[in-house]
Chains A and B, each alone.
Chain A
Amino acid sequence: MIGIVGYGSYVPCYRITVDEIARQWGKKGDDIKNGILVYEKSVPGMDEDTITIAVAAAKNALKRAQIDPQKIEGVYIGSESHPYAVKPSGTVLVDALGIGPEVHVADYEFACKAGSEAMYVAFSHIKSGEMNYAMGIGADTSQGAPGDALEFTASAGGSAFIMGKENVLAEILATYSYTSDTADFWRREGRMYPMHGSRFTGEPAYFKHVLGAGRGILKKTGLEPEDFKYAVFHMPNGKFPLKAGKTLGFTKKQMEPGWVVPWIGNTYSGSSITGLSAALDAAAPGDKILMVSFGSGAGSDAFVFQTTEAIEAAQHLAPTFKEMTTKKRIYLTYGEYVRYRGKIQLND
């Protein structure tokens, strides 16, 4: 059996509400909240970035896997906000966690899909027999330009998954990917904020790929929506994943546990996989979970998981998503937020 042997998430404790951002730009908070079904979003501390978020998530995954970090033979981090343009995030992480130096490390990038990509690579190495344990991580500290629609949702967080073949918590039954050249969202080298194709981001990008991957994996496995306990779709806002799930035939009840976006925002590479982490927190043995990621540019990775008897004992070995995101929250004003996000420029 091959699958997840440890999983963990991390979301910073800082928050800004949609109302507070709306107030800054003279917009109506209620209209925006109704439009996007997001109420507040996480903000990274001034000393947090993709690397520190990945390390914190990976520590929680190690707590659940209960394995010696030295046994991990591959580490892959997917992000669109790696702190260095040149120098891997993964090298800092392995040294911080006591993994390696006998370890294969690579950073991945594919807008919001980079995390599921890292998971796919880690899984494939186990499946090929090349490695016994490999870790796939997705983490981001994404930015929307001030005043842009993305500013209401672009947030920070991440999740880590250790793949292996012993003491598996959730078996991976199938994977399926769906990809095409679609310019719905991009950021050129050296630019601080991304650009997006506004209305081009919905049907031709998000829905085409999420539905393409969702339909593809259902067909490949012969499973029906009612065979699943939970379903998780990439969450650029609250509305898109609910609409995609409904189109495929899933109910709100199946999507609710993994629908984490209303109170943390879009954690980009950490989005669908943190939804998966929250669904795993809620799962009982034998539950099937569908996860479909989405990355602009564009593509989706779909996974079908089935939890094992081992899931229940592992759930409380590390903080659950709910514990982590409700225990401590520090709310920021818009002024504090721009300081935290490094948008204030000083002279050298």
Chain B
Amino acid sequence: MKSIVPRYTREIPQRARLEGAKCLKCGHIEFPPRLVCSKCRHREFETISLQKTGTLLTYTIIYTPAETFSMQSPFAVGIVELDDGVRLTTQIVDVPLDELKIGKRVEMIFRLVQKEGHAGILEYGYKAVLTN
């Protein structure tokens, strides 16, 4: 089995700290970071911490998840727009599913995302919770 450790380690700045890359020419924020700005093709960026609050743009309820997530079923996955305009796909947790609504405010938190089987590593990263 191919180990997920190298990739997990590489992605810690994004998954654990929500670090994005802000284009030094046009100000566009790339998340995850890219080598070339998708708006102006510039190649120089500064590392920034994304806003930890945002709005729920849309969501869906997963009833038939991949095996790793079967214990959590059913659960919500949505697209969140952070207050700096960055959009990301994330699990929305700690909420009765009938309380979810498009447009609700969210906060990004740090949680366990999945376990690599019974003996592998624990993968942590961001998820969203409702704040209103």
**Do A and B share a complex?**
yes
Residues of A within 8 A of B (CB): 12-14, 45-49, 51-52, 55-56, 83-84, 92, 95-98, 328, 330, 339, 342, 344, 346, 348
User: Any chain A CB within 8 A of the CB of B127?
Assistant: yes
Residue of A with least CB distance to B130 = A328
Q: Are B109 and A96 in contact (CB under 8 A)?
A: no
Contacts of A95 in B (CB 8 A): 12, 16-17
Majority-rule SS of A interface residues: loop
Interface centre among A46, A47, A56, A84 (most CB of B within 10 A): A47
Instruction: Give min CB distance, A137 to chain B, whole Å.
Output: 14
User: Any chain A CB within 8 A of the CB of B118?
Assistant: yes
Roughly how many angstroms separate A186 CA and B71 CA in the complex, as a whole number? 29
Residues of B within 8 A of A (CB): 12, 16-17, 49, 70-72, 91, 93-94, 96, 109-113, 117-118, 122, 124, 127
Q: Are A84 and B16 in contact (CB under 8 A)?
A: no
Q: Are A328 and B72 in contact (CB under 8 A)?
A: no
Among candidates A52, A328, A330, A346, residue contacting B112 with C-beta atoms closer than 8 Å: A52
Other 17 A-B pairs with CB < 8 A, given A83-B112, A96-B16, A342-B71: A12-B94, A47-B72, A47-B91, A47-B111, A49-B122, A51-B122, A52-B111, A56-B109, A83-B122, A84-B122, A95-B12, A96-B124, A98-B17, A330-B96, A339-B71, A344-B71, A346-B70
Q: Are A348 and B124 in contact (CB under 8 A)?
A: no
Roughly how many angstroms separate A326 CA and B83 CA in the complex, as a whole number? 27
Roughly how many angstroms separate A48 CA and B127 CA in the complex, as a whole number? 11
Contacts of A98 in B (CB 8 A): 17, 49
Instruction: Give min CB distance, A89 to chain B, whole Å.
Output: 10
Among candidates A12, A52, A344, residue contacting B124 with C-beta atoms closer than 8 Å: A52
Q: Are B94 and A328 in contact (CB under 8 A)?
A: yes
Roughly how many angstroms separate A330 CA and B113 CA in the complex, as a whole number? 21
Roughly how many angstroms separate A95 CA and B13 CA in the complex, as a whole number? 8
Q: Are B71 and A47 in contact (CB under 8 A)?
A: no
Residue of B with least CB distance to A97 = B17
Residue of B with least CB distance to A83 = B122
Instruction: Give min CB distance, B109 to chain A, whole Å.
Output: 7
Instruction: Give min CB distance, B127 to chain A, whole Å.
Output: 7
Instruction: Give min CB distance, A84 to chain B, whole Å.
Output: 7
